[in-house]
Amino acid sequence: MDLTTNILSVLIWLPIIGGITVLLAGDADDSASSRAAGMRVLALAVSLLTLLLSGFLYLHFDGSLATMQFVERDSWIGAFNADYYLGVDGISAPLILLTAFITPLVIVAGWDNIKSRPAQYFAAFLILEGLMIGVFAALDAILFYVFWEAMLVPMFLIIGIWGGERRVYATIKFFLYTFLGSVLMLVAFIYLYGKAGSFDFFAFGDVALSLREQQFIFIAFLLAFAVKVPMWPVHTWLPDAHVEAPTGGSVILAAIMLKMGGYGFVRLSLPMVPDGSEYFSFFMIVLSLIAVGYIGLVALVQKDMKKLIAYSSIAHMGFVTLGMFIVWSVAVESGSGAELGVTGGLVQMISHGLVSGAMFLCVGVLYDRMHSRQIGDYGGVANTMPWFAAFMVFFAMANAGLPGTSGFVGEFMVILASFKANFWYAFFAATTLILGAAYTLWMVKRVIYGDVANSNVAALQDLNTREFVVLGILAAAVLLVGLWPAPLIDMMSATVEQLIQQVSQSKIPGA
């Protein structure tokens, strides 16, 4: 078997099959049983193998190419020309690596604090991993849609079964929001199929469409992707989902699933309906800036740590959409800022995956010990958990976009690019320097610093080895991307350059 020809299939199906195996083999409901313990070892092994294979993908990925690599294509549903069509480029490959990197960490993070149905818990994450990689690798609309919707199921279960008290409300809100959005995306796919005669993304990219058509398709896509990002004002499912989700669920949700929205815009909206995207670009920029400003202020007043980080996620994702939609405000030439903005948005997705994942893990560490997410229940944690405090302050600084951490890279690039588009875009985007620091560090002040607030805090134990390793690995990744983002950006640049070329060409017939 030559891995280079079917590495993507392996990356998708290995975790799914591994997950099903864990699910079927581990029916014991008792986390103390040796069988359950064996299942989590198996789950970790599968996720680590996936990570290893994604390393193979990285090593064989050629960043100088703008075309799809590791392409696999077989006829799937012949009746309407839907193919099993996979491939990656500089946009999707980093996201697949991120997915493969985060999943083992999530499994280790849930190692012995999932008491109820542990095997099913780990199985859900493995299956979810395969499906998410599928979304990033799919180049056929039907295949994409199947992965896209199927992905909701494990996440729905993770929140619904292992979640907090209001998990039912949160899951329904989560499901309805995301499902309603994506149904319209399917309608758009079918319309495009009617024009192109196949579900191939590239065929979609080639069909000529009038501005009116493109506007409708853009709106259909927008509803699907804006919910996922999430963008104001369709963001309110996220704080609820995060608050109720178990730690691992929050991490995956923030680190990977939110990236689906940004990925959708850059993979579908921009190249398939460039004129529609241009038409709505100012609108999108305004929504992005609202995310930075409005949501930043809302994050400031949150009393629940998970809600605060959830709102902070929305504010950070504003940079992703801002970077993508300023393309039309600048000229399409090298040095104009278009590439800088899109690349910055993509880097921000990766960085946010690392940083927000780490922040949720930090809250999880506290929650495991005190069973509270309320900022007011803490205070002076640094006295009893010095190592944890060091990590939390570090990730908080990354969240506040400190240079040297990954959080800075994307924001910096997007701010530079948006200044090229319009002074005021940069002005409002740069408020994140103040707001991001304010909400993150004010939380740190109240939770980490100060004298020991109460007897619960006094009784806290510092990180155990397992937690230390997970946070340590994430911290190393955050530093690496912050100090040397070149490898990541080099993966993207050729693809982004080609994308900019593509979006600059009108698809309106006769235009």
Partner 1 sequence: MHSYHLTIVLAPLAAAIVAGLFGRQIGRAAAHWITVLAVGLSCVLSLIVFKHLYFDGGVAENYSVYTWAVSDGLRMEVGFLIDRLTALMMVVVTFVSLMVHIYTIGYMRDDPGYQRFFSFISLFTFAMLMLVMANNFLQLFFGWEAVGLVSYLLIGFWFKKETAIFANLKAFLVNRVGDFGFILGIAGVVLFTNSLDYQTVFASADNIAAQSITIFGDTAWNAMTVICICLFIGAMGKSAQAPLHVWLPDSMEGPTPISALIHAATMVTAGIFMVARMSPLFELSETALAVVLTIGAVTAFFMGLLGIVQNDIKRVVAYSTLSQLGYMTVALGVSAYSAAIFHLMTHAFFKALLFLAAGSVIIAMHHEQDIRKMGGLRKYMPITYWTSLIGTLALIGFPGSSGFFSKDALIEAVKESHWHGQGMIYWIAYLSVLLGVFVTALYSFRMFFLVFHGKERMDKKTKSHLHESPWVVTAPLILLAIPSAIIGWFTIGPILFGDYFGGSIQVLAGHDVLSGMGTRFTSSAAFIGHALTQPAVWLAVSGAITAWILYLYRPEIPGRLRDKLSPLYTLLDRKYYFDELWIKGFAGGGRRIGSLLWRKGDEFLIDGLMVNGTANSVRRLAGVMRQLQTGYLYHYAFAMIFALALFLAWLLWLS
List binders of partner 1 among 270-299 (CB under 8 A). Answer: 294, 297-299
Burial 75-84 (b: 16+ CB within 10 A, else e): ebeeeebbbb
171 counts as binding partner 1 under rule CB under 8 A = yes
Q: How far is the CB of 184 from partner 1 (least distance, A)?
A: 14
CB 125 within 8 A of CB 99: no
Q: For 75, phi and psi rounded to 5 degrees?
A: -65, 140
Q: Which of residues 220-239 bind partner 1 (CB under 8 A)?
A: 233, 236-237
CB 173 within 8 A of CB 155: no
In 89-135 the beta strands, taken as DSSP E runs, fall at none
Alpha carbon separation from 494 to 66, 140, 244, 379 (Å, rounded): 5, 22, 40, 48
Q: Exactly one of 302, 312, 321, 495 binds partner 1 (CB under 8 A); which one? A: 302
Q: Exactly one of 3, 459, 486, 511 binds partner 1 (CB under 8 A); which one? A: 486
Q: How far is the CB of 431 from partner 1 (least distance, A)?
A: 7
Residue 229 CA to residue 197 CA, distance in Å, equals 30
Q: How far is the CB of 38 from partner 1 (least distance, A)?
A: 23
Minimum CB distance to partner 1 smaller for 267 or for 446: 446
CB 241 within 8 A of CB 87: no
Task: List the Cα angle 389/395/396 in 5-degree steps.
Answer: 85
Would you give the distance in Å from CA 4 to the centre of its chain?
26
Q: How far is the CB of 511 from partner 1 (least distance, A)?
A: 27
Q: How far is the CB of 10 from partner 1 (least distance, A)?
A: 24
- HEC assignment per residue over 152-180: HHHHHHHHHHHCCCCHHHHHHHHHHHHHH
Minimum CB distance to partner 1 smaller for 470 or for 475: 475
Q: Which helix (H) or strand (E) holds 365?
A: helix 338-370
**Which parts of 385-459 fold into alpha helices (H)?**
386-399, 406-421, 423-430, 432-447, 455-458
Contacting range for partner 1; rule: CB under 8 A; set: 24-32, 92-100, 253-261, 430-438: 430-438
Residue 57 CA to residue 267 CA, distance in Å, equals 20
Angle (deg, nearest 10), helices 141-150 and 118-137: 160
331 counts as binding partner 1 under rule CB under 8 A = no
Q: Which of residues 346-365 bind partner 1 (CB under 8 A)?
A: none
Contacting range for partner 1; rule: CB under 8 A; set: 50-58, 246-254, 348-356, 480-488: 480-488
Q: Which of residues 243-262 bind partner 1 (CB under 8 A)?
A: none
In 56-122 the beta strands, taken as DSSP E runs, fall at 69-77, 82-88
The closest alpha carbon to 103, from 71, 131, 143, 145, belongs to 131
Total residues interacting with partner 1, rule: CB under 8 A: 80
Q: Which of residues 97-136 bind partner 1 (CB under 8 A)?
A: none
Q: Exactly one of 17, 219, 286, 300 binds partner 1 (CB under 8 A); which one? A: 300
Contacting range for partner 1; rule: CB under 8 A; set: 50-58, 98-106, 209-217, 329-337: 329-337
Minimum CB distance to partner 1 smaller for 85 or for 175: 175
Helix (H, G, I), strand (E, B) or coil at 449: coil
Bridge partners (DSSP) listed for residue 164? none
Q: Which of residues 137-156 bind partner 1 (CB under 8 A)?
A: 149-150, 153, 156
Q: Which of residues 367-406 bind partner 1 (CB under 8 A)?
A: 380, 382-383, 393, 397, 402-404
Minimum CB distance to partner 1 smaller for 112 or for 333: 333
322 counts as binding partner 1 under rule CB under 8 A = no
Contacting range for partner 1; rule: CB under 8 A; set: 48-56, 173-181, 254-262, 368-376: 173-181
Q: How far is the CB of 116 from partner 1 (least distance, A)?
A: 13
210 counts as binding partner 1 under rule CB under 8 A = no
CB 85 within 8 A of CB 138: yes
Helix (H, G, I), strand (E, B) or coil at 200: strand
CB 317 within 8 A of CB 361: no
Task: List the Cα angle 174/180/182 in 5-degree steps.
Answer: 100
Helix (H, G, I), strand (E, B) or coil at 2: coil
Q: Exactly one of 2, 74, 165, 451 binds partner 1 (CB under 8 A); which one? A: 451
Contacting range for partner 1; rule: CB under 8 A; set: 200-208, 269-277, 334-342, 460-468: 334-342
Tokens at residue 5, please? 């020809």
Minimum CB distance to partner 1 smaller for 15 or for 87: 15
490 counts as binding partner 1 under rule CB under 8 A = yes
431 counts as binding partner 1 under rule CB under 8 A = yes
Q: How far is the CB of 424 from partner 1 (least distance, A)?
A: 8
Would you give the distance in Å from CA 218 to the centre of its chain?
21
Q: Exactly one of 304, 449, 498, 506 binds partner 1 (CB under 8 A); which one? A: 449
Q: How far is the CB of 466 from partner 1 (least distance, A)?
A: 19
